[in-house]
Amino acid sequence: MADLLPCNLNISKGISTESPYTRRGGRLNHGRKISGQKGSVLSNKGCVVQCCSASSTSASSAAKQFLVNDRTSFQDREEQLENLVSEHGWRARRLANDGYEMKEVAQIQAEAFHTPVAIFDDLFFQFFKAEVLSGLLYKLRNSPPDRYACLVAEPAADSSKSQREKLVGIVDVTASRDESVMQHLRGAEEYLYVSGIAVSKTFRRQKIGSVLLKACDVLSTLWGFKYLVLRAFEDDVGARRLYTKAGYKVVSIDPQWMTWIGRKRRVLMIKQSNLLD
């Protein structure tokens, strides 16, 4: 996961605290076993089952049944991703493979993480938004479906809120393994990293951030992760309060020398999921 750029937003304007858009082409680590999962990692094509003997009718039948069950399980999980959380009048789900929704995501995250400049700010904003969209497309195209997800929030179907079809919040969730983080985790080979959380300006302070964080909890259980991890700026009191309320605990903080080079210190926060062993 790319290092995060400082964000100059005041917490009174929203809960966005850090930006994942600092480096293009950052590759995800694929192919590692996910702690807590059993069986093969599935794709939308199902899993491939190898039999010891082609002449064994019983083995062949068992393999076919196993394949059907895994495909069904995958379909069930995909359906759950379409409605991870629904509360407070908001619904959180996985981003649809839709160009219009992707542009909405880029707009919300660009608004949250763009640092205004003195001149040509509109032009720089458009460049930044294009970079955000490019990064999103790259991750969606190159990440297995159970290694990365962009979760979005929108008004629930039964909500009376205005602009029902409009996206109002976003968060990125990525399977990660950083040694500086792993030393704080017990019995886990990987963790789920939460980043890029942002809420549309006109919909802030309406519990959308809480709904998105709860959707991350549900996703961690579906994917079999024991821990969720995020970072927040040390002085971002509002964001840290939100994360603490969601169950995250501070386990470490950046060294003091970070401030000597003009960077804000961040805290590392970890939450144990509800996954049962």
Where in the sequence numbering do the catalytic residues fall? 243
Helix (H, G, I), strand (E, B) or coil at 165: coil
- In this structure, the strands spanning 90-94 and 227-233 are unpaired
Return the HEC string of 122-144. Answer: HHHHHHHHHHHHHHHHHHHHHCC
Q: Can you say whether residue 262 is alpha, beta or left, with left for phi > 0 and alpha for psi between -120 and 50 degrees?
A: left
For residue 93, which of 151, 139, 140 has the smallest C-alpha distance? 151
Contacts 24+ apart (CB under 8 A), 39-46: 39/70, 40/70, 41/144, 41/146, 42/70, 42/71, 42/73, 42/74, 42/146, 43/74, 43/144, 43/145, 44/74, 44/78, 44/145, 46/70, 46/71, 46/74
